[in-house]
Structure 1
Amino acid sequence: MSSSIRSYEPTHRLASIEQAVDAFSLLRDFFEGAIIVDAQTRITWMDTRYRELLKLDPAFNPLGLPVEDVIPHSLLRRVVETGRPILLDIMDFDDRQFVVCRIPLKDDDGQVEGAVGFVFYDNVDYLAPILEKFASLQKQLTRAQAALTRERQTKYTLSSFVGVSDSVRELKAMVRRFALRDGAALIEGETGTGKELLAHAMHQQSDRADGPFVAVNVAAIPDSLLEAEFFGVAPGAFTGADRKPRKGKFELAHGGTLFLDEIGDMPAPLQAKLLRALQEGEIEPLGSNTVKKVDVRIIAATSQDLQTRLAEKSFRADLYYRIAVLTIQVPPLRDRLEDVGPIAEALLEQIPRAQDQRGWILQVDAVQALVRYDWPGNVRELRNVLERAAAIAPSEVIDSGLVTRALPKRAASPATFRSGGLSTTLAATERQALIDAIAASNGSKSAAARRLGVSRSQFYEKLKRHAI
């Protein structure tokens, strides 16, 4: 084999190459071809069988050429640069695939002088089951990554916030202005007014639009898990923890926006850690001593009166001033009743209908009935009412009768005494108030408790007492 060597290298280099080739001759029966490159990944040697596998013209001399000029998908350059072998790989060449091995060549001092590549098989048909399994797993991974990317993108734009009132026009103008700035923003408003939608819109119109949008509902996560959810978990941080690190929401939102819904429910210990993360721009995963830098814009939202929470010392003033750099107040639906009709029409477009129906028809008297209601649950409650009306509608027409049947029943008046005395009447009134609060909060018990002004533990105790 050494007699076929053609090289541009100096004489002292030829000796080392010939030694390598002589070593390869002992392994000739175990590979189908071999190639050597130098420290600059130029081809210094290629055996005859490899040339034949590649179907190179006999008159073509590859020596001295960068390896990619002859083998476009070669990874020998990576082996030379890293000094690490690639022991088994499948390499594409034209319409064929080769099973290959790549090993760095080092001198006595451990310096990389080049690399050698072997072709073990030039026919991978018998590996078809493994390749098909690999391709299937790769497709699943690609789909999962695409789905995750979609989840971390904004679902809404500013046009999704429907309204024709002056208050909505002013609100949208403010969102557009705030989107161009990168400071933290606080969106205040009652439950169901569309705070998360506006957060999506603000991200979508900002310079961070190409980055991720990660949303966290603080009220929906147990207090004991919040720190791990925000800052991530180091391997083995506690019993049962994964052996691999788990990223928190801050790290997932790096380069984009982190939306903190119902931030008023955040416990005091986590408020201090959140404040540090916002001030320093760095986080420390649970169970780790490593500090990670993060670049995140915070948009927070609350349905609570944070000024009251500040006075009660249950929300840190320094955190409030950090997140409330830009403040947006979302008006409740009862303060913009001229928007009820357009919103209802837009919502009905999203509600499924029978195949033989061309579309829902919302009659004028139905809109009037909707306007007369005070909407404690705002747009979320409006959607709930329209879904109930559509479910009981015998046709595509939604009239005032259907709307009246779909609207929540009012709680009994305290003056309407029932048989059994005052205690029975009060109990019935409280039970109905609990039911109405849950309905107005679209099933969210935490929101219903806040609506009634009681703690979550008190709220659940009352639910148990009234068998709700």
Structure 2
Amino acid sequence: MHIPTDDRFAAARALLLMVEEMIEGATLVDRESRIVWISEGQLALIGGPRLSDVVGQEIERVIPHSRMREVVETGHPHPLDIIQYGDRSLLVTRLPLKDEKGEVIGCIAFALKNSIPHLRPIAERVQHLQTRLARIEQALSTTRTSRYNVEHILGASPAMRQVSRLLRRAAEVKSPVLLLGETGTGKEMVAHAIHAASNRVNRPFVAINVAAVPENLLEAEFFGVAPGAFTGAGRQPRPGKFQIAHEGTLFLDEIGDMPLPLQAKLLRTLQDGEVEPVGSNQLARVDVRIIAATSRALADMVRAGTFRQDLYYRLNVLPIRLPPLRERAGDIELLARRFSEQTAAAFGMALRPLTTAALARLGDHDWPGNVRELANVIEQVYARTDGTRIEAEHVDEALPSASPGPLQPEPAPGSDLASAVAGLERSLIADALVQAGGNKREAARRLGVSRSNLYAKMQRYGLDL
């Protein structure tokens, strides 16, 4: 792989070496955002790899949440940013490197040490704010806040870099966002991250899974209930999700499962910014940013008449497609290592590195359950196997078997039609659950029913919930 030897890179490196005592770490990348050089201090910050092992790699594969590519692509510097390395917060500057014609040829980034006298007040202020934030987060741990931020969205593949770019753009605007993608691709995590990066971060993040709420309760869940609206209703008003999410973000998961009558009322709320609780004639103003998600093809549903066209256009302002894991070349290794770290910490066990053979096994799998399935496989490895490393045979033991399920018995001669239909329905549901790896949402999608309907049928036929 060709690594630039341009005098400008050499000069930048020499300058950084001259001020090495003043900086915590430094990095140089070329116009392709590939690493040209990393200082010893920076190597220590990222776990101590050898310089020869990282030179020539794309920056995101070494520092997953680096924004140096953004500087290279836009030519705009980041004079001062704060980046987290474990429990340490560092002040980072990123500057574009340009040639005589003013064209960007790379980027230089360096982290200033907190001991520099003129930066000490800033560092102390940052530390003070972080301490206050930690107290506030602890106090609000039981409230509706986002659990994930941009740093949780891992991926160095071109598809995920596009997702990260759109995610940051979505955080800057107020328009509705429509997250599209197969089940398990991380749509809810992205919704949390958009909220956390927006100016609504200190307001509620409220999520509702449309497919998980019985159809007759959806309107009350969305818009609330007035006192005495129906038999059994309380004497106090019960706010709906729109009222709870006022000035914050409302995440509508599986929006494609919403019944048509409720779609009309949702559209009116989005247009007018008002809700009318069940059993009330009073309108309440709401200011809510909508993020919707679906694993279904809404455009096809619009053509079939099962989803309102006007609501589709209202929601489809900033669509973000989350690619399936099989389209994210190179990301499996990043994700598997992260899930291994998280699982080891959660189980209180020593970290088990993945061998090259184990990574090859993971790369050969087609991942129908996407990122969620990969996380499940890594957790199974820790739960079911022993060893100091994750070997290929451990992965094989955790991956789902490709063998077909047991054949369902033929209906007995003389069975009535209702029994035969029930037997067939039970068989189809069981097969869908096996194919979906036990994921109820995916099974419901395969069967073309809502998840609440699937739960009811599973209970009726005695299938494991």
Shift of 1:152: 1.5
Of 251, 262, 265, the residue aligned with 2:243 is 251
Partner of 2:221: 229
Structure 2: 5+ residue stretches without partners: 1-134, 413-423
Partner of 2:86: none
Of 190, 193, 198, the residue aligned with 2:190 is 198
Kept in 2, the 8 Å contact 1:434–1:463? The answer is no
TM-score by structure 1 length? 0.62
Of 368, 371, 375, the residue aligned with 1:376 is 368
Shift of 1:440: 5.6
| 3-state SS of 1:152 partner | coil
Return 395-404 or 213-222, whichever deviates more: 395-404
Kept in 1, the 8 Å contact 2:341–2:351? The answer is yes
- Amino acid of the structure 1 residue aligned with 2:285: K
RMSD: 3.2
Kept in 1, the 8 Å contact 2:257–2:450? The answer is no
Instruction: Give the greater-gyration-radius structure (CA).
Output: 1
Partner of 1:447: 442
Of 312, 320, 331, the residue aligned with 1:339 is 331
Residue by residue over 1:286-339, the C-alpha shift from the partner in whole angstroms, topping out at 9 and shown as x without a partner, is 111110001111010001111111111111011110111111111000111311
Of 291, 298, 303, the residue aligned with 1:311 is 303
Structure 2 vs 1, CA of residues 293 and 386 (structure 1 numbering), >3 Å: closer, same or farther? same
Kept in 2, the 8 Å contact 1:431–1:466? The answer is no
- Amino acid of the structure 1 residue aligned with 2:445: R
> 1-side partners of 2:198 and 2:266: how far apart?
23
Partner of 1:289: 281
> 2-side partners of 1:428 and 1:234: how far apart?
40
Structure 2 vs 1, CA of residues 187 and 420 (structure 1 numbering), >3 Å: closer, same or farther? closer
Structure 2 vs 1, CA of residues 148 and 240 (structure 1 numbering), >3 Å: closer, same or farther? farther
Shift of 1:447: 2.6
Partner of 1:300: 292
Matches within 5 A, 1:24-103: none
Alignment partner of 1:154 is 2:146: yes
> 1-side partners of 2:347 and 2:172: how far apart?
44
Shift of 1:449: 2.2
Of 433, 436, 440, the residue aligned with 2:434 is 436
> 2-side partners of 1:400 and 1:328: how far apart?
34
Q: Which runs of 4+ in 1 moved over 3 A?
A: 145-151, 352-357, 417-421, 426-433, 452-468
> 1-side partners of 2:425 and 2:260: how far apart?
35
> 2-side partners of 1:389 and 1:261: how far apart?
30
| 3-state SS of 1:216 partner | strand
| 3-state SS of 1:151 partner | coil
> 2-side partners of 1:429 and 1:174: how far apart?
42
Shift of 1:463: 8.7
Shift of 1:360: 2.2
Partner of 2:319: 327
Shift of 1:242: 1.4
> 1-side partners of 2:216 and 2:449: how far apart?
22
Kept in 1, the 8 Å contact 2:210–2:253? The answer is yes
Partner of 1:218: 210
Kept in 1, the 8 Å contact 2:426–2:461? The answer is no
Shift of 1:349: 1.7
Structure 1: 5+ residue stretches without partners: 1-142
Alignment partner of 1:403 is 2:395: yes
Of 209, 220, 241, the residue aligned with 2:201 is 209
Kept in 2, the 8 Å contact 1:369–1:404? The answer is yes
- Amino acid of the structure 2 residue aligned with 1:450: R
> 1-side partners of 2:426 and 2:267: how far apart?
45
Alignment partner of 1:385 is 2:377: yes
Structure 2 vs 1, CA of residues 419 and 216 (structure 1 numbering), >3 Å: closer, same or farther? closer
> 1-side partners of 2:455 and 2:145: how far apart?
35
> 2-side partners of 1:459 and 1:216: how far apart?
17
> 2-side partners of 1:355 and 1:260: how far apart?
32
- Amino acid of the structure 2 residue aligned with 1:451: R
Shift of 1:356: 8.0
- Amino acid of the structure 1 residue aligned with 2:243: E
> 2-side partners of 1:236 and 1:462: how far apart?
34
Shift of 1:434: 2.8
* Percent of paired sites with the same residue: 48
Matches within 5 A, 1:259-278: 259-278=251-270
Kept in 2, the 8 Å contact 1:345–1:362? The answer is yes
Structure 2 vs 1, CA of residues 190 and 355 (structure 1 numbering), >3 Å: closer, same or farther? closer
Shift of 1:233: 1.1
| Aligned length, in residue pairs | 318
